[in-house]
Structure 1
Amino acid sequence: MSVDVLARPRRARLRVGETIAIAVLSILALLGLFPYLFMLLTSFKTNEQFYDNFWGISLPLNVDNYLVAWNQVSPYLVTSIVVAAASTLGTIALGATSAYVIARYRFLGRNVVFAFVAVLMMIPNIASIIPLFVLVKDLGMLNTYWVLIVPQIAGGLVLAIILMKTFFEGVPQELFDAAKLDGANGVRLFWSIMLPLSYPIIGTVALMTVISVWNDFFWPLLTISENALRTVPVGLAFFQGQNSTQWGPLFAGYAISSLPVLLLFTFLSKWFLAGLQGGIAGTSK
């Protein structure tokens, strides 16, 4: 009885601590979601509603803002989807094969090669802008899809190789030894064993590549001058310049452009977290 009496204040303190933690986390979540809620509320307003009721909900809702925004943003969405898909496929294909060779084959200079890959992470992207621009200009790649796709693949390969190598090293060697006894060669080992086990890390790399393409602003602005080839961030910037006082369609464009990434993260979030956990676990070994 006395033990139960002594335990009651402790349980009460735990409940108070949990309540405080839930309240703090709820406030942080609300602060994080507030810009998106503000974007959605504003996307249904006319200019008069926007200035009269800046923070609140205004009725009636102007759904026509989304039609205006769609007509303006849809060409940029097509470009971003094409660039994101090609960049993701290229990054996964080159990153997976490179990481597989470094992780599973023993050859002279293997650690040196991986060290050079890791060193590239310490070079800021802004430091390579000028030489990269000169290179793509000399190659005649300006105002093409390639000027958006190839640098994205090259930039995303560094982190992709590091994450995939760490993940591949965590796969038990016994699986490969058993397959070799059955006569499987290196290509078959990679295609039939490694890739089916690597969906979590592939999902992680895919999501990170798509987010990188979707958020990239300066490079498309620098290398693309044709309106049909502009990506979503640059297109929305020009949309804002053309519709600087039309706040409803402008925020509706932001909402439409965020949907593909939101849907992709919803479907890949499980693999994304599993891939990161696998990479962290492998790094700690």
Structure 2
Amino acid sequence: MRPRRIRQSILITVLSLIALVGIAPYLFMLLTSFKNNAEYYKSYFAIPKPFHWENYLLAWRQISDYFLNSLIVAVASIIGVLVLGAISSFVMARYEFPAKRFLYWMIIALMSVPGITTLIPLFILIKNMGLIDHRLSLILPYIATGQIMSIFLMRTFFENLPEEVFEAATIDGANGFRLFWNLAIPLSKPIISTIAMISFLGVWNDYVWPSVVIASNQLRTITIGLAFFQGEFLTEWGQLFAGYVIASIPLLIVFAFGMRYFVSGLTGGVVK
């Protein structure tokens, strides 16, 4: 066997093992979601016999409100992040104004600040605004914190768009809004999809912030709802893991349909 084929075989084997390690927890979760407690305690890794499909129906009855809350918060947050981030990034990329670079680097410097250090100041701000135990206490902070990554990625992408296209549109009489809406946005679908996916992932999986500002059961998000899914004395593990599977479905759908845009969005600003 040629040395090149040997290296390829070793590489494929190593990558396959890494992929198996990465997917093993999800397979365990999926198998457990079809078990009852007796089967779960008998063998963690055995294939359930029979498959208890009713676990998903019972789990959905418990977490449907939490699922809807997370969906509302995620969609509203993503829209806010994309709208404000796109406008800010376009202005920073295509217009000159005083202290432009200083403002940009100050925004980028916020990426080095650990999110946990802003927890108390942000809580005090939300409390003073009277938004504790309200959906806006989730949506507004997510929009604000999402601007940092949004501006960082979109500004670079807007700067690398062909200047000739904007010059031609300007000669034809296009104003600033038309340059933004009719040129920049259609050409920026990959980076917009990338930011939307990153924002959705962060909002959907967040546990700490919702647990701090949300107290009402009807406003809890999916992560908090699943934490309260466990009983005080008895936990139905099959139903709990079915809830985990249901909660992961939106993430799988988003990545399945958006992975192509995600990869091209992250690499779009590499080569000018």
**TM-score grouping bracket, smaller chain normalisation:** over 0.9
Question: Displaced runs of 4+ in structure 1, greater than 6 A?
Answer: none
Displacement of 1:112 in angstroms is: 0.8
Q: Which residue of 2 aligns with 1:191?
A: 181
Q: Which residue of 2 aligns with 1:70?
A: 60
Q: How far does the alpha carbon of each residue in 1:163-211 deviate from its partner, in whole angstroms, 9 at most, with x for none?
A: 0000001101111110011110000100000000000000000000100
Distance in 2 (alpha carbons) for counterparts of 1:105 and 1:254: 46
Q: Does 1:114 align with 2:112?
A: no
Q: Which residue of 2 aligns with 1:60?
A: 50
Distance in 1 (alpha carbons) for counterparts of 2:21 and 2:163: 46
State the SS of the aligned residue for 1:81. helix
Q: Which residue of 2 aligns with 1:269?
A: 259
Distance in 2 (alpha carbons) for counterparts of 1:181 and 1:40: 58
Q: Partner letter of residue 98 of structure 1?
A: S
Distance in 1 (alpha carbons) for counterparts of 2:252 and 2:193: 14
Q: How far does the alpha carbon of each residue in 1:125-171 deviate from its partner, in whole angstroms, 9 at most, with x for none?
A: 11111111111111110111100000000111001000000000110
Of 111, 117, 123, the residue aligned with 2:113 is: 123
Q: Does 1:27 align with 2:17?
A: yes
Contact 1:38 1:55 in 2 (8 A): yes
Q: Which residue of 2 aligns with 1:41?
A: 31
Distance in 2 (alpha carbons) for counterparts of 1:281 and 1:160: 19
Distance in 2 (alpha carbons) for counterparts of 1:67 and 1:274: 38
Structure 2 unaligned segments of length 5 or more: list them.
none
State the SS of the aligned residue for 2:44. coil
Q: Which residue of 1 aligns with 2:8?
A: 18
Q: Does 1:235 align with 2:225?
A: yes
Q: Does 1:93 align with 2:86?
A: no
Q: Which residue of 2 aligns with 1:4?
A: none
Q: Which residue of 1 aligns with 2:159?
A: 169
Contact 1:243 1:250 in 2 (8 A): no
Task: Quote the sequence identity (%).
Answer: 48
Q: Partner letter of residue 157 of structure 2?
A: F
Q: Partner letter of residue 269 of structure 1?
A: M
State the SS of the aligned residue for 2:268. helix
Q: Which residue of 2 aligns with 1:206?
A: 196
Displacement of 1:73 in angstroms is: 1.0
Distance in 2 (alpha carbons) for counterparts of 1:245 and 1:108: 60
* Greater percentage in helix: 1
Q: Partner letter of residue 114 of structure 2?
A: P
Give the number of the structure whose alpha-carbon radius of gyration is greater. Answer: 1
Distance in 1 (alpha carbons) for counterparts of 2:271 and 2:111: 20
Q: Partner letter of residue 19 of structure 1?
A: S
Displacement of 1:16 in angstroms is: 1.5
Structure 1 unaligned segments of length 5 or more: list them.
1-10
State the SS of the aligned residue for 2:235. coil
Q: How far does the alpha carbon of each residue in 1:62-121 deviate from its partner, in whole angstroms, 9 at most, with x for none?
A: 001001100011111100000000000000000000000000001221101101111111
Q: Number of residue pairs matched?
A: 272
Displacement of 1:245 in angstroms is: 2.4
Displacement of 1:50 in angstroms is: 0.8
- TM-score, normalising length from structure 2? 0.98
Displacement of 1:240 in angstroms is: 2.2
Of 95, 103, 124, the residue aligned with 1:105 is: 95
